[in-house]
Amino acid sequence: MASKKVNNITVSPGHPLPLGATLVPGGCRLSLFSRHATAVWLQLYESPRDDEPGEEIALDPALNRTGDIWHIQLNGDCSRLLYLWRVDGPDEPSQGHRFDQHSPLLDPCARAVAGEYRWESRQDPASGGKRQRRFRNLPPKCLAPGNDFDWGGIHRPHIPLEDSVIYELHVRGFTRHPSSGVKNPGTFPGLIEKIGYLKELGITAVELLPVHEFNENEMILRNPLTGEKLRNYWGYSPVLFYAPKSGYAAGEALEGAPVREFKAMVKAFHEARIEVILDVVFNHTAEGNASGPTLNFRGLDNAIYYILDDKDRSIYLNYSGCGNTLNCNHPVVRGFIRNCLRYWVTEMKVDGFRFDLASILGRDRDGKMLVNPPLVESIAEDPILRHVKIIAEAWDAGGAYQVGSFPGKRWSEWNGKYRDDVRRFWRSEPFSRNALASRITGSSDIYVSSGKLPANSINFITSHDGFTLNDLVSYVEKHNEANGEGNRDGDNNNLSPNFGVEGPSADPVVEGLRQRLIRSFLATLFLSQGVPMILSGDEGRRTQQGNNNAYCQDNEISWLDWGRLEENRDLVEFTRRLIAFRKAHPVFRRKSFFSGLDHDNDGRADIEWYESSGHAVRWNISRPVLAAFLNGTMAETGNHEEDTDFYLMFNSGRESRRFVLPRPPGGALWGRVLDTALEGDSSMLATETKAKPLEDQAGYELAGHACGLLIALKN
């Protein structure tokens, strides 16, 4: 291509790699993948609000195409470059092709966007007005942000997984409520202002709900209770995988604020020695099924990016429950995902990823499950990603459930069995203590056969998807009427008690039992082997008013009310002490599973199970009580420091139980550290140094719905 003028910019052929827009001295290189395109145009815009481009440049296949990559270089001032692509090719849905030369397309590798998502009804000119199209996509415009951020020598914390405490939060919801008191609520800078709180609580990693660019205004439903238009709040409907959400920036997107502010947030977290884990959605896109919008992937190479029905390739196979499924194990898509992850690690400095519906990463181009999925293996073994945390939500909407069997020893998993079995025990379901014993010891029953370790289990009681912890003890039924789907959405199996009252209660007895059970859930979580994950606000009884699927509630249903944290400061302090206690005692952070053997010949195994009577547990009998002796010697834990011994007690029944206590080794005496039936400072001691020997060394009375922990005090 001979150089020519486009306003004040000249163009030349450019270079095929890297994909996306890359600022170079004197200009910008742009490149785009499309194997089946027959024509490509680059559109340049004056403003993010413009519907039509100021200039459009046709790429010459002879000069601007290398293999399947279309490329061009703009020479001149590109500091405020705004661009989209337009692509033509076969419109043959039955063959998997859905090219539309009239639709402007976002660059899949764009690092940032400016503007809003809008729609315009129109007729397709090529049909002579006979075929009516529902809408035309008017997307935001792509940017080419610079890479001049000063990291100031701050390094990643590199916290071992077994020492991690994960806090799942929503960037917008964490500070959007007026009670947050931050300068820029609902933004990356707003989150920075709350790092001190998270550090004081003892959090080592934040797991951020999706921060990739998504269209929060894509929904057509309204709240039938208020009439307000619902919004995509969670963000599990990705449009661009490289771009931080522009709506989470306080500054102007056109000035590069989303990228700059995200980096500043990561830097601030790292200064506080807190890691940043991203919830990533590489299983589907916002383009949905055949009636969805054409945003980028569909208009660039639909047959490559999506899993399609083999007999009729106009049909999208839907293993995500969201209309389409990314063709993750196609070599092109596999490379796209891996390069995207590398970008977030190298340029944005994140510390790990939680993969939404990760079982889809293991499906082949026909949707079948692979034994050794290339993408799953390449993520685990990639030299750039080798030391970041990788966490799988090991199931999908197509029926795959791989908790305990997700391929690869390096992959940790959201342990859905932990959530369900712990909930069942505290509801006092028959024989539930058997499963509880497995869950609190790291779930060796589901992990040891695959060579995994306790830290491969990400333990949680609640997450963004479902009830909050407060609602878990306050509602039996979901209350999702505000979602506009007739309360049909959301899980019907919540395994949740309400103590006889649905929703808030003024009865002090009911409230007392709910507070006790919340403490018992938290104690179970932080005293279990594996990695604990707590949902944002659970430490202060955040409520969603019984909504267990608040994906569309960008309002006070979802936002964290900081006033509730103040009202429940005793529970916040209880949680802080629990986390600190866990960190102080390696016996709760074992690197290997319990064996039930005596490794140092002191007459006590690394773990011993007891009935409340003091006899060995009879697993074939259903009882609501369970106790365990935890041996803290270095030889038994496999850790590099000595710990003390503990006695852990659970009582999910209504009535109190007297637990007969075994004698602690070496003439030590039992002292109480934790009793969730107690209130205030007594429920969890600030440090074990405040523990006093029990007056009765032979037994301990533990109330119903309570958890207790005793420590062996040396004489």
Close Cβ partners of 306 (under 8 Å, ≥ 6 residues apart): 96, 297, 298, 316, 324, 325, 326, 327
Residue 635's Cβ-side half-sphere holds a number of Cα atoms within 13 Å equal to 9
Within 576-686, strands assigned E span 607-610, 625-630, 646-651, 657-660, 669-675
SS3 207: strand
Which residue is listed with tokens 């509730």? 564
How many C-beta atoms lie closer than 10 Å to residue 127's C-beta? 10
Question: 43 near 83, Cβ under 8 Å?
Answer: yes
Q: Is 655 one of the annotated active-site residues of the chain? A: no
Sorted by sequence, the CB contacts under 8 Å of residue 543 that are 6+ apart come out as: 468, 470, 471, 474, 564
Contacts 24+ apart (CB under 8 A), 59-66: 60/1, 63/1, 63/13, 64/1, 64/13, 64/14, 64/40, 66/16
Q: Which of 100, 107, 207, 393 is catalytic?
A: 393
CA distance 178 to 162: 36
Q: How far apart are CA 463 and CA 533, in angstroms?
A: 8
What residues have CB less than 8 Å from 362, skipping those under 6 apart?
329, 369, 370, 373, 375, 376, 400, 402, 406, 407
Nearest to 72 by CA among 87, 61, 82: 61
Helices (H) and strands (E) in the chain, counts: 15, 32
Amino acid (one-letter) located at 137: N
**Three-state SS across 76-134?**
CCCCCCCEEEEEECCEEHHHCEECCCCCCECCCCCCEEECCCEEEEEECHHHCCCCEEE
Strands (E), 403-559: 412-414, 457-460, 531-535
Which long-range contacts does 596-601 make (Cβ < 8 Å, 24+ apart)?
599/635, 599/636, 600/633, 600/635, 600/636
Sheet holding 607-610, edge to edge: 607-610, 625-630, 646-651, 706-713, 669-675
**Do 682 and 661 meet the contact criterion of CB atoms below 8 Å apart?**
no
CA dist 234 to 218, 266, 281, 558, Å?
12, 20, 11, 10
Q: How far apart are CA 36 and CA 39, in angstroms?
A: 9
* Residue 705: closest CA among 653, 670, 666, 665: 653
Strand 27-33 with 20-24, pairing = antiparallel
- Residue 401 is given by DSSP the state B
Residue 393 is a catalytic residue: yes
The residue written with tokens 């063709």 in the block is 327
The catalytic residue among 168, 275, 356, 636 is 356
What is the SS3 assignment for 621?
A: coil
* CA 507/CA 662 separation, integer angstroms: 38
Radius of gyration of the chain (CA): 28
Which two three-digit tokens encode residue 117? Answer: 């998502």
Under DSSP, is residue 68 helix (H, G, I), strand (E, B) or coil? Answer: coil
For residues 53 and 114, the answer to whether their CB atoms sit within 8 Å is no
CA distance 626 to 659: 9
Residue numbers annotated as active site: 356, 393
